[in-house]
Amino acid sequence: MPSISQKGLRMPESPIRKLVPFAERAKKEGKYVYHLNIGQPDIKTPEVALKAVKNSKIDVLAYSSSNGSETYRKKLSNYYKKHDIDISSDDLIVTTGASEGLLFLFSSILDPGDEVIISEPFYANYIAFSTATGVDVVPVVCNIDDNFALPPIEHYEQLITAKTKAILICNPGNPTGYLYTEFEIKQLAALAIKYDLFFVADEVYREFVYDNQKHISILNLPGLKEHAIVIDSVSKRYSMCGARIGCLVSKNKEVIQTALKFAQARLSPPTLAQIASEAALETPQSYFDAVIEEYVDRRNTLIQELQKIEGVKVAKPKGAFYCIAELPIKNADAFAQWLLEDFDINKETVMVAPAAGFYSTPNVGLNQVRIAYVLKKESLIKAVNILKEALKIYKD
């Protein structure tokens, strides 16, 4: 039989999706599963975006330009200007989700064997993209006891080698919900400048910032023109995960020119979804105000309920819609599977994402899970109660 690639063998399974067959079986057995495992918001997509698609009078669903439709790119640059980020329509490439932006990023700035330093736990697909491109991820472990704040900057500096090409952060963070302070961002920026590294920020959760805190984009910092690259997306911002539209943003012309070559190879981002995304930029502020209020309420409920469970430790998120919880168990993988296979309360159970898949350091986070608060408050309360009862009887 012909053999598949070593790279293919090394590709990690998604920690979020690998329990899906167990969830499917539980559902077939008549159980209701509360999905705390996946970042698919239940929030409605803005009307303006859906209407634009419904009302579009297209005769031919043609390719757009490889870097995205010009009207969309121009309006996107205005969106950034509103966030005090001085970006022109030529400083960005529209991608098929942030996912493709990440793939273009890894392909454009990193060669096989190059190293990228990432604070962990991190968005699990960073490992997938690094594996696909032969890049080595060098993790810096952040701690639940510090709410996953940036560790001392020396921890980063001591990891820099001749192979280091970039530092990557996710801000606000998936899976931690951590929001970097201006001081922390500036420390990382100084390091990027000192060692001439790219400084990449995945800012797909930019709008999801709570408690009157301010999101600091790396594109706002002075002196980073050649270093800063931002990965962005409409998926969470407008609850448009299925649109598959994102972008890669940088003032570094070489980065954009190189990413464009990868963009040309895949011809074009989706045309209809760009129409929806362009219209989504007209979404009124009231939409975001309501969404943020909803997430804050859910976060507060979730944290409060989790803290009531004996032996559970939880880091309070300041942004995005995830948190990491440490459970009084040894192996969250086995626990998550057991919840789906062997536990229910009145035919209801929960699905969580074991957190080890968000770390690349072996044996870290084994007793942690990521919980996404993308369900209504009432469902969150029920789901956490199921967790509580399950933990009372679970034996590792």
Interacting residues with ligand PLP (CB under 6 A): 39, 97-99, 123, 170, 174, 202, 204, 233, 235, 241, 246
**Which residue, chain included where needed, has tokens 């790279």?**
7
Residue whose beta carbon is closest to ligand PLP: 97
Evaluate whether 148 touches 324 at the Cβ level (below 8 Å): yes
Indicate the residue type of 353: A
Strand partners for 349? 33
- Based on CB atoms, which residue is closest to ligand PLP, 98 or 248? 98
What is the smallest separation between the CB atom of 237 and ligand PLP, expressed in angstroms? 9
Q: Which of 108, 77, 98 is nearest to 202 (CA)?
A: 98
Residue 229 contacts residue 87 (beta carbons within 8 Å): no
User: Which is closer to ligand PLP, CB of 234 or CB of 302?
Assistant: 234
Identify which of residues 97 and 354 has a Cβ nearer to ligand PLP in the complex.
97
Q: Considering beta carbons, is residue 99 or 283 the nearer one to ligand PLP?
A: 99
Q: Give the shortest CB-96-to-ligand PLP separation in angstroms.
A: 8
**Identity (one letter) of the amino acid at 37?**
N
Closest listed residue to residue 235, CA positions, set 118, 320, 125, 132: 320
Residue environment code for 45-79, b if the CB has 16+ CB neighbours within 10 A, otherwise e: bbebbeebeeeeeeeeeeebbbbbbeebbebbbee
Q: Which is nearer to ligand PLP, 23 or 105 (CB)?
A: 105
Backbone angles phi, psi at 140, to 5 degrees: -115, 120
Q: What are phi and psi of 25, to 5 degrees?
A: -65, -40
* Closest to ligand PLP by CB, 206 or 382: 206
Q: How far is the CB of 156 from ligand PLP (least distance, A)?
A: 20
Q: Which is nearer to ligand PLP, 246 or 270 (CB)?
A: 246
Q: Are strands 198-202 and 368-372 parallel, antiparallel or unpaired?
A: unpaired
CB of 381 to ligand PLP, least distance (A): 24
Beta carbon nearer to ligand PLP, 23 or 175:
175
Helix (H, G, I), strand (E, B) or coil at 275: helix
Q: Is the peptide bond before 172 cis (omega within 30 degrees of 0)?
A: yes
Distance separating alpha carbons of residues 282 and 76, to the nearest angstrom: 11
- 221 or 234: whose CB is closer to ligand PLP? 234
- How many Cβ atoms from other residues are within 10 Å of residue 152's Cβ? 10
CB of residue 174 to ligand PLP, shortest distance in Å? 4
CA distance 198 to 168: 8
CA angle 51, 56, 60 (to 5 degrees): 150
Query: Nearest approach, Cβ of 5 to ligand PLP (angstroms)?
Result: 23
Rank residues 160 and 241 by Cβ distance to ligand PLP and give the closer one: 241
> What is the SS3 assignment for 323?
strand
CA separation for the pair 154, 168 (Å, rounded): 16
Q: How far apart are CA 228 and CA 336, in angstroms?
A: 38
Scored b (16 or more CB within 10 A) or e, 159-198 reads: ebeeebbbbbbbbbbbbbbbbbeeebbbbbbebbeeeebb
Closest approach of ligand PLP to the CB of residue 118, in Å: 11
